[in-house]
Structure 1
Amino acid sequence: MSAPRHFEHQYLDLLRDVWERGDERRDRTGVGTRSLFGPTLRFDLSDDRIPLLTTKRVAWKTAARELLWFLSGETNIRPLVAQGVHIWTDWPLDAYRRHSGEVIDRDAFEARILADDVFAARWGELGPVYGKQWVDWPRFEPAGDGLYRRAARGIDQIAGLVEALRTNPASRRLIFTGWNVAELDQMALPPCHMTYQYHVANGRLSGMLWQRSCDLGLGFAFNAFSAALLIRMLAQQADLAPGELVWSCGDAHVYLNHEHLVREQLAREPRGAPTLAIARRPASIFDYAIEDFTVAGYDPHPHIAAPVAV
Structure 2
Amino acid sequence: MTQPLAPSAVHYEQQYLDLMRRIWTHGDERIDRTGVGTRSLLGATMRFSLADDAVPLLTTKRVYWKVAAREMLWFLTGDTNIRELVRQGVHIWTDWPLDAYRRATGEAIDRNAFEARIVADDAFAARWGDLGPVYGAQWVDWPRYEPAGDGLFRRAEKGHNQIADLVAAIRAMPGSRRLLFTGWNVAEVAQMALPPCHMTYQFQVADGRLNGLLFQRSCDLGLGFAFNIFGLAMITRMLAQQCDLEPGEIVWQGGDVHLYLNHAPLVEAQIGRTPSGAPKLRINRRPSSIFDYRIEDFEVVDYTPQAAISAPVAV
Q: Does 1:19 align with 2:30?
A: no
Partner of 1:266: 271
Structure 1 position 271, deviation (Å):
1.3
- Structure 1 runs (4+) deviating above 3 angstroms are none
CA–CA distance in structure 2, aligned partners of residues 145 and 188 of structure 1: 34
Q: Does 1:118 align with 2:123?
A: yes
Structure 1 position 294, deviation (Å):
0.3
Partner of 1:220: 225
Partner of 1:9: 14
Structure 1 position 128, deviation (Å):
0.1
Structure 1 position 47, deviation (Å):
0.5
RMSD, aligned α-carbons: 0.9
Partner of 1:278: 283
Partner of 1:42: 47
Q: Does 1:130 align with 2:135?
A: yes
Within the candidate set 292, 299, 314, 1:294 is matched to 299
Q: Does 1:52 align with 2:52?
A: no
Within the candidate set 155, 166, 169, 2:160 is matched to 155
Partner of 2:33: 28
Partner of 1:308: 313
Unpaired segments of 5 or more residues in structure 2?
1-7
Which secondary structure does the structure 2 equivalent of 1:154 belong to?
Answer: coil
Partner of 2:207: 202
Corresponding pairs, count: 309
Q: Does 1:232 align with 2:237?
A: yes
Which secondary structure does the structure 2 equivalent of 1:208 belong to?
Answer: strand
CA–CA distance in structure 2, aligned partners of residues 309 and 110 of structure 1: 19
Partner of 1:144: 149
CA–CA distance in structure 2, aligned partners of residues 276 and 45 of structure 1: 9
CA–CA distance in structure 2, aligned partners of residues 90 and 51 of structure 1: 27
Partner of 2:257: 252
Which secondary structure does the structure 1 equivalent of 2:187 belong to?
Answer: helix
Unpaired segments of 5 or more residues in structure 1?
none
Which secondary structure does the structure 2 equivalent of 1:250 belong to?
Answer: strand
Partner of 1:99: 104
Which secondary structure does the structure 2 equivalent of 1:67 belong to?
Answer: helix
Q: Which amino acid is 2:141 matched to?
A: D
Partner of 2:3: none
Query: TM-score scaled by structure 1?
Result: 0.99
Structure 1 position 66, deviation (Å):
0.1
Partner of 1:165: 170
Within the candidate set 188, 192, 201, 1:187 is matched to 192
Q: Does 1:174 align with 2:179?
A: yes
User: Once the two structures are aligned, what percentage of the paired residues are identical?
Assistant: 71
CA–CA distance in structure 2, aligned partners of residues 127 and 147 of structure 1: 24
